[in-house]
Amino acid sequence: MNVPNILPLVLGLILFSFFVSSLLVVPFINLLYKIKLTRRREAMGKKKTLFEKLHDIKSGTPIGGGVLIIVIVVTLFAVLFPILLNFGVFIHSSFNLFKELLVIFFTFISFGLLGLLDDFVKTFGKPKTGNVGAVFGLTKKQKFSIQWVLALITAFILYQFLGIHILHLPLLNSVIDLGIFYVPFAATVIVFFANAFNFTDGLDGLASGLLVIYLISYIFISAGNLDTTLFMFISIWLGAIIAFLYFNVYPARVFLGDAGALSFGSTIALIGLLTGNVATLFVIGGIFVIEAASSAIQIISIKFFNKRVFPLAPIHHSFLAIGWEEPKIVMRAWIAGIILAIFGLWLAAI
């Protein structure tokens, strides 16, 4: 099975998922308003910080869009996969089929549940005063600890049950066997991208648009690996996120929330690990990496030198702070994401 042969299947899955998702988004947004799962104001006093001024204009917008996408993707895959099997569609997995499905959906759902818990605590819990604005949701320690537990479980499944333990370096044309150390390495990659995606999801359409670019890229990579299971999952996910993006572009009617951000960030890392293209993952997901790096640099600089490198972090907030309009920042990030995706696909092909 090659790319031309799978094209009708991929396009059909994308279109079907898009159609189903499009029908459900508006009723789901109305439901989120009804249960009041919406973004809260971060300002706690009369005097607002720059951070609060940039964020509080978005208060009142529903934050549960990621939940709908997770439910749609899981449900459609569960329904369509056996139907396609019964109709004789050739299913090829790079690994044991059950174990590959286990690790994909464990990561996709478990990180989503963690994010959903954080969303509920953020929305209905009592806020605390932080260094910048109000602090909502689980504490950083709580969220980070649970992320590591989930990531280590995923990494262990990859190593123990799928037999993945090597790291490919494309430009050097070399392979490194990490052995058991693959587990902490893979867990680190998963936690990094879960948080990097979450950092990026701060402007209307930014993270979800970059995710569309990422998923299109990895359809080609998974198809090249002849992994039917993976590209079917990605295709269904892509159709759903495109439908969501229509309502997430500026001015957004709905946000992914932590449920979507943590689920999607961890899963894009998993896809990179499953395809054996970790270096490519960091290139195609380069904007996520830059966003996370800018936050890390800012934190380190403030902690050790008591000085800010950026007006605000992550870096998309700095562009807002110096006067760039939000749609301009998002569009330029998408363009940069497209170029990085092309470069990443080139790396995967050599």
pLDDT > 80? residue 264: yes
Which residues constitute the domain of residue 145? 3-349
Per residue, what are the HEC states of the chain? CCHHHHHHHHHHHHHHHHHHHHHHHHHHHHHHHHHCCECCCCCCCCCCCHHHHHHHHHCCCECCHHHHHHHHHHHHHHHHHHHHHHCCCCCCCCCCHHHHHHHHHHHHHHHHHHHHHHHHHHHHCCCEECCCCEECCCCHHHHHHHHHHHHHHHHHHHHHCCCCCEEEECCCCEEEECHHHHHHHHHHHHHHHHHHHHHHCCCCCHHHHHHHHHHHHHHHHHHHCCCHHHHHHHHHHHHHHHHHHHHHCCCCCCCCHHHHHHHHHHHHHHHHHHCCCHHHHHHHCHHHHHHHHHHHHHHHHHHHHCCCCCCCCCHHHHHHHCCCCHHHHHHHHHHHHHHHHHHHHHHHHC
In this predicted structure, the answer to whether residue 77 has a pLDDT above a threshold of 60 is yes
50 pLDDT tier (thresholds 50, 70, 90): low
pLDDT digits (tens, 9 = 90+) for 326-344: 999 999 999 999 999 999 9
Lowest-pLDDT range, 75-79, 206-210, 318-322?
A: 318-322
Residue 124 is predicted with a pLDDT of: 87
More confident residue, 262 or 95: 262
pLDDT of 226 reads: 80
Q: Which residue has the higher pLDDT, 240 or 55?
A: 240
Tally of domains within the chain: 1
Angstrom distance (rounded) from CA 46 to CA 9: 56
Asked if the model's pLDDT at residue 280 lies above 70, the reply is: yes
- pLDDT, residue 62, reads 95
pLDDT digits (tens, 9 = 90+) for 220-243: 998 888 888 999 999 999 999 999
* pLDDT tens for each residue of 296-313: 999 999 989 889 999 888
pLDDT (0 to 100) of residue 61:
93
pLDDT at residue 39 tops 70: yes
Confidence category of residue 170, pLDDT binned at 50, 70, 90: confident
pLDDT at 84 over 60: yes
**Mean of pLDDT values over 38-54:** 65
- Note the pLDDT of residue 348: 86
Q: pLDDT digit string (tens) for 269-279?
A: 999 999 988 99
Q: Which residues contact 120 (CB under 8 A, 6 or more apart)?
A: 37
The confidence band for 44, taking pLDDT boundaries of 50, 70 and 90, is low
Pairing of strands 174-177, 128-129: unpaired
Q: Has residue 204 got a pLDDT over 80?
A: yes
Res 88 pLDDT > 90: no
pLDDT > 90? residue 5: no
